[in-house]
Structure 1
Amino acid sequence: MRRGACEAEPMRGLARPALRARWCRRLWALPARAAAASPAPPTGASPGSGALNPFDRRLKRKQKNWAALQPEPAKCDYLREEVGGRIADRVFDITRTFPLALDVGSGRGYIAQHLTKETVEKLIQVDIAENALKNAIESEIPTVRVVADEEFLPFKEDTFDLVVSSLSLHWVNDLPKAFKEIHQVLKPDGVFIGAMFGGDTLYELRCSLQLAELEREGGFSPHVSPFTAVADLGHLLSRAGFNTLTVDTDEIQVNYPGLFEVMEDLQGMGESNCSWNRKPLLHRETMLAAAAIYQEMYGNSDGSVPATFQIYYMIGWKYHESQAKPAQRGSATVSFGDLSKIEGLLKRGKK
């Protein structure tokens, strides 16, 4: 199992399935009928006041439900399935069987399809979107599906041997509280393995839109959701009570025909922006300018454009007295100064 403090893996590419392109005037927004049905911000949570609760969780539920009801939702699941597989690989790195596991923000079950019943005997999937759970991908593991908010887990303390989460926690308003909830429902010596989007996700799209708005409208508004910095992640997990932490980063690059296909797939993933301060509509001229800037600044030689998704992977354990502990300070029997002598003796032995 990976135990380094912070490691970076090389960027990997991911093929985007061919999808029918269509004109889209919204970035990370719902279709007109669904957007009109979304509730207004509650009192005290106007678009300009989202410091404590930056995301509209009710809107996020609508977005995920809408995406799950599309005729072919699997067409936009390629990124979630890839990351779900990498989470499963980290589960397999731990050589034990987990009698009961929890998948927080499971969506359609992107982790479960890669796991086996020899590793996880029973799984509970939790998500805010009931349609995603109804259309979940079947797996060989006995599964119970529960509609609940990731911020308020409806389970007793010390319940699960394993908690996993893939590409869901970046939409949580109170991430420290969510980590504490996960820590609480874990049994002692239980492990949490998760993945969430990092701060460099979609930087190409963000820069292109900002430059286009500055040029055409004289200013810009946020169109891409705020993300957690990797430097904060270990601290938040430690504050929640986790130990033996591992945080590593990965980047997945997906090539698209153009900017509009990027936005179309984000919408199909249920990854539309749900920030209170979002700007739901963009002018046609601004969108066309952004597409041209995207192509000019980042375009590939074959005419496609890349979209980079930065992924933070995290592993944390709940304390148990049986876990290995660091040695007492001053208990070493060999000093670092003796290492050079050992190296010299080894060189002499080779001669």
Structure 2
Amino acid sequence: MAEPRRLIDRRALWLRRLRAGAGGGPDFLRARIAEDAEDRLAVTLRPFPVALDLASSGDEVIRLLRRRNPSGAAFRATPEPASSASFICDDEALPLRSESLDLIVSSLALQFADDLPGLLAQARRALRPDGLFLAALLGGDSLSELRQSFAAAEAEMEGGASPRVLPFADVRALGGLLQRAGFALPVTDVDRVVARYDNPLDLIAELRAWGATNVLAERRRTPLRRATLTRALEIYADRFADGDGRVRATFEIVWLSGWAPDPGQQQPLRPGSARVRLADALGVKESPAS
């Protein structure tokens, strides 16, 4: 049986994340996500005695989990060695027992999953009843400026474009994947962040420091031509610069949350079971559709 075609070069991803972890690098996006995750968990009254950081970029999430529940257990699953890792594994083949966790949190990792539906199903099985899954990943509009600039430059200079940026998932599709994985009360929402840089090269350097440069399996393996890179930077600066000359970069952070089903959870009402008319609740006069 033929092995399924992979979107991500796992070895390239592992090496780039390893270099990024050793070299530090910018953390404003990771810090923002960790702060937002803490706010989201703060409104949940349920305790989470056993929590897992699922392959998050950086140490912000594991520190949050340990700070939030110092008397509980917080582990980290990561594909590369790290000082705070509890176990090393492929984030698409998780060695987790069924119903062994109360909370799973993931930051800026799931966009690299070749089999996201399978990964969500594994997470769902690992959660105890009424356990929470919370993840932030990059969505469809992320780095749209960079994609447009490189596509235009390669079409002009080389007669065709090479895949350079991940095909990020659409938020509506992600909501459907949560339901297919068996999560109850699935919710998706989007936080759109626009960062500004002195020039496009600063953005590329930041992506490299994150370990987030091109890891597509079908990427072009020959070095990028200097003339093409120069033209891409010119297009970026021409199309996406503000009045002060600084350039914009969009990051669309998609939040996913869902609960392992439990009989004590709130359940949606049956259609037609409402006892109050919508028009009365809104204080408006109801008119026939005709």
Report if TM-score (shorter chain) is over 0.5. yes
Equivalent residue number for residue 288 of structure 2: none
Equivalent residue number for residue 125 of structure 2: 184
Q: CA RMSD in A?
A: 2.1
Distance change in 2, residues 1:335/1:278 (3 Å): same
- 1:173-221 deviations in whole A, cap 9, x for unaligned? 1000000000010000001010100011101111111111111112111
Amino acid corresponding to residue 257 of structure 1 in structure 2: D
The answer to whether the Cα contact below 8 Å between 1:254 and 1:307 also exists between their aligned partners in 2 is yes
Equivalent residue number for residue 299 of structure 1: 241
2:53 paired residue among 103, 112, 119? 103
Amino acid corresponding to residue 284 of structure 1 in structure 2: R
Equivalent residue number for residue 78 of structure 1: 28
Q: Alpha-carbon deviation of 1:114?
A: 3.6
- Is the counterpart of residue 313 in structure 1 residue 266 in structure 2? no
Q: How many Å separate the matches in 1 of 2:193 and 2:272?
A: 44
2:214 paired residue among 243, 264, 273? 273
Q: How many Å separate the matches in 2 of 1:339 and 1:270?
A: 51
Q: How many Å separate the matches in 1 of 2:175 and 2:157?
A: 41
Q: Alpha-carbon deviation of 1:338?
A: 4.9
Q: Alpha-carbon deviation of 1:118?
A: 4.6
The answer to whether the Cα contact below 8 Å between 1:109 and 1:125 also exists between their aligned partners in 2 is no
Q: Alpha-carbon deviation of 1:285?
A: 0.8
The answer to whether the Cα contact below 8 Å between 1:97 and 1:118 also exists between their aligned partners in 2 is no
Q: How many Å separate the matches in 2 of 1:105 and 1:262?
A: 23
Q: How many Å separate the matches in 2 of 1:295 and 1:256?
A: 10
- Is the counterpart of residue 194 in structure 1 residue 145 in structure 2? no
1:263 paired residue among 194, 198, 204? 204
- Is the counterpart of residue 62 in structure 1 residue 12 in structure 2? no
Amino acid corresponding to residue 52 of structure 2 in structure 1: L
Amino acid corresponding to residue 22 of structure 2 in structure 1: L
1:283 paired residue among 225, 228, 232? 225
- Is the counterpart of residue 128 in structure 1 residue 60 in structure 2? no
Q: Which runs of 5+ in 2 are unaligned?
A: 286-290
The answer to whether the Cα contact below 8 Å between 1:87 and 1:166 also exists between their aligned partners in 2 is no
Q: Alpha-carbon deviation of 1:222?
A: 1.2
Amino acid corresponding to residue 109 of structure 1 in structure 2: D
Number of paired residues? 283
- Equivalent residues in 2 for 1:146-161, closer than 5 Å: 146-161=87-102
Q: How many Å separate the matches in 1 of 2:124 and 2:168?
A: 22
DSSP-derived class of the 2:251 partner: strand
The answer to whether the Cα contact below 8 Å between 1:96 and 1:119 also exists between their aligned partners in 2 is no
The answer to whether the Cα contact below 8 Å between 1:198 and 1:230 also exists between their aligned partners in 2 is yes
1:166 paired residue among 96, 107, 111? 107
Deviation larger for 290-299 or 91-100: 91-100
DSSP-derived class of the 1:55 partner: coil
1:92 paired residue among 42, 61, 64? 42
1:327 paired residue among 269, 272, 283? 269
Identity of aligned residues (%): 33
Q: Alpha-carbon deviation of 1:86?
A: 1.3
| TM-score normalized by the length of structure 1 | 0.76
Q: How many Å separate the matches in 2 of 1:284 and 1:60?
A: 24
- Is the counterpart of residue 175 in structure 1 residue 126 in structure 2? no
Q: How many Å separate the matches in 2 of 1:182 and 1:202?
A: 28
Distance change in 2, residues 1:126/1:116 (3 Å): closer
Q: Alpha-carbon deviation of 1:334?
A: 3.1
Equivalent residue number for residue 53 of structure 1: 6
Amino acid corresponding to residue 182 of structure 1 in structure 2: A
Higher relative contact order (CA 8 A, sep 6+): 1
Equivalent residue number for residue 62 of structure 2: 112
Q: How many Å separate the matches in 2 of 1:339 and 1:259?
A: 51
Distance change in 2, residues 1:99/1:258 (3 Å): same
- 1:269-320 deviations in whole A, cap 9, x for unaligned? 0112211111242111111111111111011222211111111001101100
The answer to whether the Cα contact below 8 Å between 1:52 and 1:173 also exists between their aligned partners in 2 is no
DSSP-derived class of the 2:86 partner: strand
Q: How many Å separate the matches in 2 of 1:161 and 1:80?
A: 23
| TM-score normalized by the length of structure 2 | 0.91
Distance change in 2, residues 1:337/1:295 (3 Å): closer
Q: Which runs of 5+ in 1 are unaligned?
A: 1-43, 46-50, 137-143, 345-351
- Is the counterpart of residue 249 in structure 1 residue 200 in structure 2? no
Amino acid corresponding to residue 135 of structure 2 in structure 1: G
Q: Alpha-carbon deviation of 1:119?
A: 4.1
Amino acid corresponding to residue 77 of structure 2 in structure 1: V
